[in-house]
Structure 1
Amino acid sequence: MIELQAFPSLFGFQLLLLGCMRKAYPAIPRNWTSSFGGIKDEAYLALLQRTVVAESDAENVVLLDIEPEKQKTRVDFAATEKLLGIRPVCVTKIKKRGRQLFYDRDGREVRIERIYNRVIFDELSQRPDLKLAFRFQDDLDLTWVGHPNWYFRISKHSLPFLKTEYTSPAFLANEFPAFAKATAGRPAEEKIDNYVLKPLYSFAGHGVDMEPTREKIGALENPQEWILQKKIDYAAFVPTVDGKKSKAEIRMMFVWPDQDLNPTLVNNLVRMSQGKMMGVDFNIDKTWVGASIALHED
Structure 2
Amino acid sequence: MVHTYREYFNRNFTREKYANFLHLLEKDYPPVPIRFAETPVFIPEDLKNQLIAAGEEIIRLIKQPGFKELTASAIPKDWIVPNENDHPHFLAFDFGICKDEQGRLVPRLIEMQGFPSLFAFQLHLADTYKEAFELNKLADFSPFFHGMDQQTYISLLKKVILGPFAPQEVALMDIDAPNQKTAIDFFVTAKHLGIKILSLTDIFSENGQLFYQEQDEKVRLRRIYNRLIFDEVSTQQELFKTSFDPREPLDVEWITHPNWFYRISKFTMPFLKNEFVPETQFLNALETIPADLENYVLKPLFSFAGMGVIIDVTQADIANITDPENWILQRKVDYEPVVKSPDGYVKTEIRLLYIWPDGEEPQLCINLARLSRGKMIGVRYNADFDWVGGTVGLMAREIDN
TM above 0.5: yes
Q: Are 1:178 and 1:191, in contact at CA under 8 Å, matched by a contact in 2?
A: no
Query: How is 1:1-298 mapped onto 2 (pairs within 5 angstroms)?
Result: 1-28=109-136, 31-128=140-237, 130-132=239-241, 133-179=243-289, 189=290, 191-241=292-342, 243-260=343-360, 262-297=361-396, 298=398
Give distance in 2, aligned partners of 1:115 and 1:145.
Answer: 6
Distance 1:148 1:194, change over 3 A: same
Deviation at 1:190, TM superposition (A): 5.1
How big is the shift at 1:126? 3.6
Larger deviation: 268-277 or 13-22? 13-22
DSSP-derived class of the 2:261 partner: helix
CA distance in 1: counterparts of 2:355 and 2:172, whole angstroms: 16
Q: Counterparts of 2:389 and 2:217 in 1: how far apart (Å)?
A: 39
Any idea what the Cα deviations from partners look like across 1:256-278, whole Å, max 9, x if unmatched?
A: 11232x21100000011111111
- In the alignment, the residues of structure 1 paired with residue 269 and residue 143 of structure 2 have an alpha-carbon distance, to the nearest angstrom, of 26
Structure 2, gaps ≥5 residues long = 1-108
Cα 1:274–1:149 change in 2 (3 A) is same
Give the Cα–Cα distance (whole angstroms) in 1 for the partners of residues 341 and 275 of structure 2. Answer: 32
Return the letter of the residue paired with 1:150: W
Query: In the aligned structure 2, how far is the partner of 1:270 from the partner of 1:155?
Result: 19
Greater share of helix residues, 1 or 2?
2
CA distance in 1, matches of 2:335, 2:110: 11
Q: Tell me the distance in 2 between the aligned counterparts of 1:284 and 1:10.
A: 21
After TM superposition, give the deviation of residue 191 of structure 1 in Å. 2.8
Secondary structure of the equivalent of 1:123?
A: helix
Percent of aligned positions that are identical:
41
* Distance change (3 Å), C-alpha of 1:128 and 1:134: closer
Tell me the CA shift for residue 107 of structure 1. 3.6
TM-score after normalising by structure 2: 0.69
Contact 2:129 2:135 in 1 (8 A): no
Structure 1 stretches (4+) deviating beyond 4 angstroms? Answer: none
Amino acid at match of 1:100: Q
Counterpart of 1:108 in structure 2: which amino acid?
E
Per-residue deviation, 1:131? 4.3
Superposed CA RMSD: 1.6
Q: CA deviation at 1:105?
A: 2.5
User: Alpha-carbon deviation of 1:214?
Assistant: 2.1
Q: Compute the TM-score of the two structures, normalised by the length of structure 1.
A: 0.91
Which residue identity lines up with residue 24 of structure 1 in the other structure?
A: A
The Cα of 1:129 is off from its aligned counterpart by 5.6
Q: Report the CA distance shift for 1:236/1:30 in structure 2 as closer, same or farther (over 3 A).
A: closer
SS of the residue 1:4 aligns to: strand
For residue 287 of structure 1, report the CA deviation from its aligned partner. Answer: 1.9
Which fold has the larger relative contact order, with Cα–Cα distance below 8 Å and residues 6 or more apart in sequence?
2
1:177 offset after TM fit, Å?
3.8
